[in-house]
């Protein structure tokens, strides 16, 4: 495999800059192994594609406003995108103190010991780089508990390909609700599990009324989802680790569906990676952990039978996962068709439903 094997041409005008008027307002492309060409529907018709007894698995992570802006002692501006917490945090002398790995955007790297002034009386202190990684470690000292501080002073970290000229308060307020699933519950992600953005509460209730079972797991999407693959040989790419948790109830539901030969349908690539990472040879094991699983063509799926996902960037690990599931040629042909028909791409874009994985 070469990185160029996962490329396609996308006109910039088809990169969605804003969400659809309502959550169910997107288009849905249906790809199946039995058909040469995709089918085209509106998203609410996903309910017609689900059968009684199917298990729909959703990621209930909640996006936190994890982007902070500050100034170094030298006066230089700095952008901090928080990633993995390295401890549970504590209060000391009236401050909330917690250490994080993070991605930085600055004119120069943040050296150990350098202090950064944050809004609202907060401070970040550099502690150097993580071992074997370009990620920085910072120690946050905040006047409020972390979640409260981020809600007041943080910003929702929208992907870099969303480049709008109308960055006003109304648009930012809209992002706080629409760049979040209606079932988001566990704070910790810095990017939304975008396949779930299309579901309204009414649509989920309708799906339940059909006899479809719904289960929730948690995978906190990290900033690595924004990072490009920089090596021509995908085998050499190292995935960014992300935290996930599957509770006992969800694990039982997944394993019961597999035992009864019912479809396990993943809503998003994050759900795929969590379930396949938790497979222990017999079934999906309950528990918490971190995964750096890189799913690419040749991967043997153990759990997932069908996949709902958005359209992904060229040359990305997410596109490689979809190619592994549905076949590279079929996936890229569907992408070319989506470009031809004017589908909207990426986080705020339209959706695809792969009704079954490709025969191995």
The rounded distance, in Å, linking the Cα atoms of 304 and 161 is: 29
> In DSSP terms, which residues pair with 29 in a beta bridge?
40, 352
pLDDT at 113 over 80: yes
CATH annotation of 67-153: 2.40.10.240
Model pTM?
Answer: 0.93
- pLDDT attached to residue 358: 82
Helices (H), the chain: 146-153, 169-178, 201-209, 248-259, 269-278, 317-326, 328-340
The rounded distance, in Å, linking the Cα atoms of 95 and 122 is: 9
**CA distances from residue 350 to 40, 330, 338 in whole angstroms, order as listed:** 11, 18, 10
User: For residue 353, which of 202, 220, 226, 199 has the smallest C-alpha distance?
Assistant: 199
Q: Quick: pLDDT tens for 117-137.
A: 999 999 999 998 876 666 899
C-beta of residue 243 within 8 angstroms of C-beta of residue 288:
yes
CATH annotation of 3-63+176-354: 3.40.1780.10
Number of residues assigned to the chain: 360
Q: Quick: pLDDT tens for 103-112.
A: 888 877 788 9
Task: Give residue limits of the domains in the chain.
Answer: 3-63+176-354, 67-153
HSE at residue 103, side-chain half, CA atoms within 13 A, is 13
Average pLDDT of 330-357? 97
- pLDDT attached to residue 223: 84
């Amino acid at each position: 495999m070469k990185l160029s094997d996962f490329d396609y041409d996308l006109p910039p005008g088809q990169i969605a800059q804003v969400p659809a008027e309502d959550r169910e307002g997107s288009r849905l492309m249906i790809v199946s192994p039995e058909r040469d060409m995709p089918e085209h529907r509106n998203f609410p018709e996903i309910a017609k594609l689900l059968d009684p007894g199917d298990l729909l698995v959703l990621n209930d992570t909640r996006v936190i406003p994890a982007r902070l802006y500050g100034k170094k002692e030298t006066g230089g501006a700095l952008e901090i995108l928080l990633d993995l917490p390295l401890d549970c945090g504590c209060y000391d002398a009236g401050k909330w103190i917690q250490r994080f790995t993070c991605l930085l955007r600055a004119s120069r790297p943040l050296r150990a010991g350098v202090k950064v002034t944050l809004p609202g009386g907060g401070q970040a202190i550099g502690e150097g780089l993580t071992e074997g990684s370009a990620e920085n470690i910072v120690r946050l000292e905040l006047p409020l508990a972390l979640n409260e501080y981020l809600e007041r002073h943080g910003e929702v970290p929208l992907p870099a390909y969303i480049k709008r000229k109308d960055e006003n308060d109304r648009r930012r307020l809209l992002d706080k609700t629409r760049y979040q699933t209606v079932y988001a519950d566990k704070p910790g992600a810095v990017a939304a599990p975008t396949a779930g953005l299309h579901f309204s509460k009414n649509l989920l209730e309708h799906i339940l009324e059909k006899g479809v079972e719904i289960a929730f797991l948690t995978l906190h999407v990290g900033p690595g989802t924004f990072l490009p693959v920089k090596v021509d040989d995908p085998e050499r790419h190292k995935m960014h680790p992300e935290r996930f948790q599957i509770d006992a109830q969800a694990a039982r539901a997944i394993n019961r569906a597999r035992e009864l030969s019912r479809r396990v349908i993943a809503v998003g690539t994050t759900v795929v990676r969590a379930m396949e990472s938790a497979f222990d040879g017999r079934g999906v094991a309950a528990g918490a952990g971190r995964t750096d699983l890189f799913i690419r063509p040749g991967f043997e799926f153990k759990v997932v039978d069908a996949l709902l996902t958005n359209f992904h960037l060229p040359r990305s690990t997410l596109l490689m996962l979809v190619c592994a599931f549905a076949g590279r040629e079929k996936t890229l042909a569907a992408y070319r068709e989506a470009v031809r028909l004017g589908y909207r791409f990426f986080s705020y874009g339209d959706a695809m439903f792969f009704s079954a994985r490709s025969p191995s």
